[in-house]
Amino acid sequence: MADSGCGYVGTRIMAKTGTALPPTSPEEIGIERLRRARLGRRILLVLLASFVAVGAWGMFGIRTRTVAAAGGGYRLIATYTAADRAQLPVRLNFTVQRPGGFAGPVDVGITQSYLNVLDLNDIEPQPSGSHSAGDLLVWTFDRPAGDTLHVTVDAIIEENAQFGRSAVVAVVEGAIPLVQVSFRTWVAP
């Protein structure tokens, strides 16, 4: 008997070896596995939607806050960057008020470890002097006209300042803080 074509030879060889082709239908998946997979997809979708909603709400962006305190005849208000990213600019504004005006220069201290995570660009007005008092760097500002001193610190957060730092800003007379405010700048990694 002569071979009439390639298909006949293939069938004949398969019949002689007794091997079958692998099945092409998908294997059966249990209902519990399908339910777990669906639940996993839903949880992932909720997490992703929450992340997008929090981002759209501005929770991952730059935030600024203000703290204030009064004491020793002074009122101190600090506006600071509460959340930021490394290598971005930050601005720290503080206002010292004394009803009736200031008798002389004003000493304002800020935590040195907080300044260590900043690359200072400018301080306005420029302090006429500075010295250390414990963990504070104390800037001396010339006597302002009127009863208010406004100070602006312009800086950039250092590249390696992950998670940020806490700070204290205080009006100091001698080595004694008369009024102080505390805050924390969080730096996203």
Long-range contacts of 56-60 (CB under 8 A, 24+ apart): 60/188
Q: Is the pLDDT of residue 8 over 50?
A: no
- Secondary element (H or E) of residue 9: helix 6-17
Answer with the residue of higher pLDDT: 2 or 173: 173
Percent of the chain at pLDDT above 70? 88
CATH no., domain 63-188 = 2.60.40.3670
Report how far residue 178's alpha carbon sits from residue 128's, in angstroms, rounded to the nearest whole number: 20
Q: Tell me, what's the pLDDT at 153? A: 94
Q: Is the pLDDT of residue 1 over 80?
A: no
What is the residue-averaged pLDDT of the chain?
85
Q: Tell me, what's the pLDDT at 39? A: 96
Would the pTM count as exceeding 0.75?
A: no
Domain ranges in the chain?
7-56, 63-188
The answer for residues whose C-beta is within 8 angstroms of residue 151's C-beta and 6 or more apart is 93, 94, 95, 96, 108, 123, 124, 125, 139, 141
Report how far residue 61's alpha carbon sits from residue 51's, in angstroms, rounded to the nearest whole number: 13
Q: What is the pLDDT of residues 15-34, one digit of tens each?
A: 556 677 887 888 888 899 99
Tell me the mean pLDDT in the region 59-65. 79
Q: Tell me, what's the pLDDT at 189? A: 66
Q: Is the pLDDT of residue 7 over 60?
A: no
Q: Is the pLDDT of residue 59 over 80?
A: no
Q: What is the pLDDT of residues 80-125, one digit of tens each?
A: 988 887 788 888 999 999 998 898 999 999 999 888 888 889 999 9
Tell me the mean pLDDT in the region 131-143. 91
Residue 179: helix, strand or coil by DSSP? strand
